Amino acid sequence: GCSNCEHKEEKTIKQRLLAKFKGDIQEESCPKCGSNSFKVIEIISLIEELGEIAESTGTKVEILSTETEEGEMLHSTFGGVAAILRYKIDY
């Protein structure tokens, strides 16, 4: 976010790229006012954010470790995130 004009942006990036991103963002100018006071304000874990959203809607969350057969299968098949929906999906 920009401390000059209070412009804010949200980005979702992989944990392993966070250090590089933080360095890169300090080199950038604010896209709104052009000042060089653009910086990372807050870092929120995607897992925590999704958990909070799920909790606020009364959704049950289960975390499966990749150390289990089920967790490894979920990770290799769906990339690690899956949901069981309450409603039938029409194709």
The tens digit of pLDDT for each residue in 57-85 reads 888 888 889 999 988 998 999 887 888 87
- The contacts found for 32-35 with CB under 8 angstroms, 24 or more apart, are 32/2, 32/5, 32/7, 33/2, 33/4, 33/5, 33/7, 35/2, 35/4, 35/5
Residue 23 CA to residue 75 CA, distance in Å, equals 30
Q: What is the pTM of this model?
A: 0.55
Instruction: Say if CB 48 and CB 8 are below 8 A apart.
Output: no
| Per-residue pLDDT at 87 | 75
